[in-house]
Structures are given as C-alpha cells and as structure tokens.
C-alpha cells in the first residue's frame, strides 16, 4: 500500500514538474525569433519539442493541445529547412501573432461561408434548371397529348364518314342480292375473323380475339318498295390508345374500300 502511494506521489511530482516546465517554455516562447534553428528554440524553451514535422514544430502539454496565439495554448513555429520562419514581431504570443491567428480563423470562416454559399447557389441553379426541364417536358407532353386528341377527333370524324359511305341502297332485289353476295366476298377478304353466320340477310364473323383484329357484319334491310339497304359494320379489338388509333385507321380504309369493291364487281 505504501509503495502504491509512493508511486502516485512521484507521478504527481513528475506531472507537476512537467506542467511547470511547460509553463516556463511558454513564458520563454516569445524569445524565439526568425532564423533560429529548432535546436536553439528548444534551448530557449528549456525542453525538447513535442512534435517535429517538416513544416511545423510544436510543444504541447496537458490541455494545451492547440496553438491559438495565447499564452494558454501550445507553442508552435513554422519551419523551413530546419529554420524557424514566420514569427510576427513580438513573438508567437504577441499582439501581432494573435491578430494574425484571428485573421486566419476569419479567413477560414469566410472561405467556408463562401463555399457554402456557392454550394447553395449551385444547388439552387441546378434545381431551377431541373424545374425548367420538367416544365419544358410537361409542356411538350401537353402539346403531344393535345395533338393526339386532335388527331383522334379527326380520325373519328373520318371513320364516321367512311362508315356512312359504306351504306349502300339498291333499287331491285336481283341487284341487291348480287351486292349482298359481293359483300360476303369482301368480308371474307378483309375481315380477320371467320364467318360465323351467313344467311340471305345477315353475314357475321366471329368477334375479334386479338388486338387490331377486324370483325365484320353485313345486314340487308328491306326499304320502301323494292329498295333494300346494305349496311357494313366493322369492329376492332383494342386495348389502349395506340391500338385504338390503329383500329380506326384500318376500319376507315376498309370502309372506304367497300363501295368501290361492290361497284367495280357489280359492273362485270
């Protein structure tokens, strides 16, 4: 027990001596001038340097781990080729040294603020650029959709006109019968589905089973006197805008082809 107490007392004594030596070193720090060697500085401070680097030499003890140009901080000198340089007039703890240290801190803070502002400005510019791109993209998409809608309306109008043109009125039963037979041939050639029903008055294919496939029906209705009306109806399976557009185009072409087909072959 006594031995442990003795060891602690000796450690305290050595610590006190080290602290006292460091205080003395700091008190002598302002005596170190430019042009001195590191060894000369160690002689003046009365103790070896704690850290020796290529560009810095330092004396540090206890809580004094950082140089702040005050007598309570560590001791620090700039070194070039083993020679101390950059010591302001009045020493490393003098007014000029303190002023230079504070200016260095202020410059570092100003640089950090400038970098932060530049980063914020760059982020804002990037955000504005991305917003502008999104706005341009949204506008282009709106224009595209508007054009698609306008085109769809035109296609629907064209389809309606073609469907009307495909309605044929015949004047006598023999002519109507021949037209109806030609209509069956047209459906066989232009419908994608096979004929399911074929009578003297109705010709009908199976319903469409795949996108873009055309189904058809042909109906002959009695009119006034000996007149009869032959009506072609085309349907197309479509899931989605693109397929619907394709279906309208196919239906319009085939409706437009119906009357010329009947008239051409009727004359034979």
Residue 209 pLDDT class (50, 70, 90 cuts): confident
Stretch 39-64: mean pLDDT: 93
Higher pLDDT, 186 or 240: 186
pTM over 0.75: no
Q: Is 227 strand, coil or helix? A: coil
Q: Is the pLDDT of residue 15 over 60?
A: no
pLDDT at 220: 95
Q: Measured between alpha carbons, how far is 34 from 36 in angstroms, rounded to an integer?
A: 6
Which pLDDT tens digit goes with each residue over 219-228?
A: 999 988 889 9
Q: Is the pLDDT of residue 7 over 70?
A: no
Residue 1 pLDDT class (50, 70, 90 cuts): low
Higher pLDDT, 69 or 8: 69
Q: Is the pLDDT of residue 112 over 50?
A: yes
Q: Is 30 strand, coil or helix? A: helix
Which ranges of the chain does DSSP label H, i.e. alpha helix? 2-28, 38-45, 95-165, 173-190, 241-266
Q: Measured between alpha carbons, how far is 244 from 237 in angstroms, rounded to an integer?
A: 8
Stretch 36-47: mean pLDDT: 96
Q: In what order do the strands lie in the sheet with 214-222?
A: 168-170, 228-236, 214-222, 202-205, 195-198
Strand partners, 203: 198, 218
CATH fold for domain 166-266: Alpha-D-Glucose-1,6-Bisphosphate; Chain A, domain 4 (3.30.530)
Which pLDDT tens digit goes with each residue over 176-195?
A: 999 999 999 999 999 999 99
Q: Is the pLDDT of residue 8 over 70?
A: no
pLDDT at 18: 56
Q: Is the pLDDT of residue 6 over 60?
A: no
Q: Is the pLDDT of residue 9 over 80?
A: no
pLDDT at 226: 84
């Amino acid at each position: 027990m006594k031995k442990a107490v003795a060891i602690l007392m000796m450690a305290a004594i050595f610590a006190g001596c080290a602290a006292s030596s460091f205080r003395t070193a700091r008190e002598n720090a302002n005596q170190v001038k430019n042009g001195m060697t590191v060894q000369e500085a160690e002689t003046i401070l009365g103790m070896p340097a704690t850290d020796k680097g290529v560009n810095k030499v330092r004396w540090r003890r206890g809580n004094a781990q950082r140089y702040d140009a005050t007598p309570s901080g560590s001791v620090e000198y700039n070194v070039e080729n083993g020679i101390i340089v950059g010591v302001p007039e009045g020493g490393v703890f003098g007014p000029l040294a303190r002023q230079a240290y504070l200016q260095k801190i202020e410059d570092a803070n100003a640089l950090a603020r400038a970098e932060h502002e530049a980063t914020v400005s760059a982020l804002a510019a990037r955000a504005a650029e991305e917003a502008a791109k999104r706005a341009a993209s949204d506008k282009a998409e709106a224009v595209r959709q508007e054009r698609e809608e306008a085109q769809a309306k035109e296609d629907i109008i064209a389809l309606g006109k073609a469907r009307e043109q495909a309605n044929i009125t015949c004047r006598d039963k023999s002519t109507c019968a021949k037209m109806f037979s030609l209509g069956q041939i047209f459906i066989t050639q232009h419908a994608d589905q096979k004929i399911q029903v074929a009578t003297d008055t109705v010709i009908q294919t199976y319903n469409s089973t795949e996108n873009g496939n055309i189904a058809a029906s042909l109906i002959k209705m009695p009119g006034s006197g000996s007149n009869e009306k032959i009506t072609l109806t085309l349907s197309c399976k479509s899931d989605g805008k693109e397929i619907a557009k394709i279906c309208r185009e196919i239906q319009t072409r085939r409706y437009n082809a119906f009357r010329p087909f009947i008239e051409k072959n009727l004359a034979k």
